[in-house]
Amino acid sequence: MAILAIGKAVFQFLIGLKSFGTLSKGSLAHSAKNAFIVASCVIATIGANERASADDNLKTIFVEPSCAEHLYDKPIPTFSGATATGKARDSYCTESDYSDTSVSQSPTFVELSKFVNDKRFDHFIAYYFIFSEPDVVDIICSRNKAAPITMDLTVQQSSFEETDSAEPRGISPTDSNIQRLQQCMGNALKVRWVGCAWFAPNAKCPRSEIATMHLKFWKFQGTGLSDVVYVFGSGNIGQSLYANFDNWAFYSTNAGSAVDRQLGCLTDPIAQTDPVTENGVTDAYFRCLKAKNVYSADYPVSSFLMPATHLNFLLSTLTKKLAPFDDIYLTTQDIGGKQIHDFLVGLANQGKRINIVLDDDFHWARYGISVGVARATKAKWVEGLVHDGGGRITVRYLETNHHSSFKPSLHDKLLAATNSRNESFAVVSTANWDDGSLRSNLETVHLVNASSWASFYLVELERLWAKSFADDELPIVDVAPKG
C-alpha cells in the first residue's frame, strides 16, 4: 500500500524530532531532556474499508523519558553471566533530569496549548483520571481571560475526599488544580467527580456504581464551528505530558461526521447518567449509538466504551480484526485475567507471533519486589501465558525507574499488528490489558482501522521491543545507580 509505505518513511524521519529541533538517534539517547516522537498524516481514501473526510487530520505524539546515564556503584552480574555497569540508557530518571520547562516545551503540551488558545473553540469537554498539571490550568485560565470559554470537566473521585474518619481532609494535586480552575472560571466551569475514592480511609464503594473513571479524553468545539478536535490516548493531564511512556492522538474532523458522532457516544452516556452505574451507562451508550447511527466498524477509528461494551464482544471483534495479521505487538502497564490469557493464547494457536513489552517491575516481582501494579501473582500469570503460548508468545522487559524517587513508567496501552503485505492495525486504549480494567472501569478502546495511522503505533511498538530486554539480559539483582 503506497500510502502506508510513505507513512512509515515519514514516521522514521520524524523519529529524529525532539521538541522543536531535529536530532540524530545518538544525540537523542544521550540527552538529559525528554524524547518525543511526532507523526502526522491526513486520513483520506486510504482503503476500501477506511472512510474519512479529506479534512480529517491526525497528529500522534509518543512521549518517552530521555535522561542522563546512571551508573551502578559497581558492576553487577546478569543472568547470562555478563556484567552490567548501569541502567539502560534513558531508563532511569531522577528529578534532576527534568527542568522547570520540561512541561511547557514538550510537544504534547505545545499541541494541547494550540487548541486551548484557538479562539474558534469556546467550549471544552474533558474526561480525565488525573488532572494535576498546573501549567495546563495556567493556559486554560489565561485563555479564559483573553476570550471566555465554558468547560465541562469530569475527573476520577479524589482519593482524599472527606470520610467518616476523624483525620483531616487532604488535598490531592487534582483537587488543588480544579480549585484554581474554579477560581479563574467561576460558573463557566462545571466539574463532576465520578467513581469511588478507593484509597481514602473507610472508603465505601457500592458494587452497583463504577469504581474508577479511567478515561483520557478532550474535545474542543466552537459555537457554529464546522470543525471539532479530539485528544485521546493513554496520557493523563500530569506527568504523562512529558515523562511517562505515553501516547497522544490529536484528531481533527468535521462536526457531525460519523467519527464525531461515534466519539460523542463515549462521553454523552456518562454526562446523562447519575449516579454513574454500569447498567445506566450501558443503556445510555446503546441509545446514543442507535440515535446517531454509528454501528459501523469500518471508520478510520472505531471506538468502544467499557464496560458498556461486553468484554466478550470486544475480544471477539479483535479476534476477527486480527485474522489477516501475523505479528502482534502489545504493551501495557498492567496485564492479567483469564479472558486476556485465553484471547492471547488463542491468537498464538492460530499461528500468530505475540510480542509483549512489560515494565521491568514484572520481572522483579517474581523475586518478591512489588512495585506499582506488579506483584508475584502477576509475574506467575506472565510465566503461565508464555508457557501456554507454545513458543509463540514472547515477553521482554523495558527497564524503568525501580529505585528512583521520580518514576516515569511504561504507561502505554497499545496493540499493533502487521503482515507480509505491510498492512497495519492498532488498538489504542485507556484500559490496561487485564480483565478487571476492561470489565469494571470506565474506559475507552479505539480500534485504528486506517492502516497508515496504525503504522505509527506499529513503528513505536517495534522501537520499544528493540530497546527492551529478555529475562536473561537483566541483572540478577536490581541495584540502585549512584545518586
- Number of structural domains found in the chain: 1
CA-CA distance, 91 to 439, in Å (whole number)?
A: 32
Contacts of 437 (CB under 8 A, 6+ apart): 214, 306, 334, 431, 443
- Tell me, yes or no, whether 478 lies in a domain: no
Q: What SS3 state is found at 142?
A: helix
CA-CA distance, 283 to 269, in Å (whole number)?
A: 8
- Tell me, yes or no, whether 193 lies in a domain: yes
Q: Residue 166 has what pLDDT?
A: 40
Q: Residue 315 has what pLDDT?
A: 97
Residue 206 CB neighbours (<10 A)? 10
Cell of residue 250, nine digits: 490529536
- Tell me, yes or no, whether 479 lies in a domain: no
Residue type, 261: R
Q: Residue 452: left (phi > 0), alpha (psi -120 to 50), or beta?
A: alpha
Per-block mean pLDDT, blocks of 10 residues, the chain (483 long) = 35 29 24 54 36 62 81 82 79 70 82 96 96 94 97 81 40 79 95 79 70 93 94 92 90 89 90 87 91 74 90 95 98 96 98 96 82 86 97 94 68 97 96 94 93 93 93 75 56
- Tell me, yes or no, whether 306 lies in a domain: yes
Inter-residue contact 45 to 446 (CB < 8 Å): no
- Cis amide bond preceding 275, omega within 30: yes
Cell of residue 105, nine digits: 516545551
Q: Residue 471 has what pLDDT?
A: 86
Q: Annotate 387-454 with DSSP letters as a single string.
A: HHTTT-EEEEEE---SS-SS---B---EEEEE-TT--EEEEEESS-EEHHHHHHSBEEEEEE--HHHH
CA-CA distance, 480 to 464, in Å (whole number)?
A: 23
Range of the domain at 111: 2-473
Inter-residue contact 283 to 254 (CB < 8 Å): no
- Tell me, yes or no, whether 302 lies in a domain: yes
DSSP, res 360 = T
CA-CA distance, 263 to 399, in Å (whole number)?
A: 35
CA-CA distance, 449 to 299, in Å (whole number)?
A: 7
CATH number at residue 464: 3.30.870.10
Residue type, 74: K
Q: What is the b/e burial string over 436-449, where b = at least 16 CB atoms within 10 angstroms of the residue's CB?
A: ebbbbbbbbbbbbb
- Tell me, yes or no, whether 483 lies in a domain: no
The pTM (predicted TM-score) of the whole model is: 0.86
Cβ burial, residue 378 (10 Å; 0-12/13-18/19+): buried
- Tell me, yes or no, whether 63 lies in a domain: yes
Q: Residue 90 has what pLDDT?
A: 72
- Across the strands, what pairs with 57? 42, 252
* Tally: H helices and E strands in the chain: 14, 21
**Among candidate residues 303, 338, 321, 322, the one with its CA nearest the CA of residue 434:** 338
Q: To which residue does cell 473507610 refer?
A: 202
E-state strands within 320-378: 327-331, 335-336, 353-359
Q: Is the dihedral of CA 70, 72, 76, 79 positive or negative?
A: negative
Q: 327 phi and psi, to 5 degrees?
A: -115, 130
Residue 74 CB neighbours (<10 A)? 9
- Tell me, yes or no, whether 156 lies in a domain: yes
Contacts of 213 (CB under 8 A, 6+ apart): 127, 129, 154, 155, 156, 157, 194, 195, 270, 276, 441, 442
- Across the strands, what pairs with 277? 209
**Among candidate residues 77, 74, 80, 38, the one with its CA nearest the CA of residue 59:** 38
Helix axes 173-185, 134-146, angle to 10 degrees: 10
Q: Is the dihedral of CA 187, 193, 199, 204 positive or negative?
A: positive
Radius of gyration of the chain (CA): 22
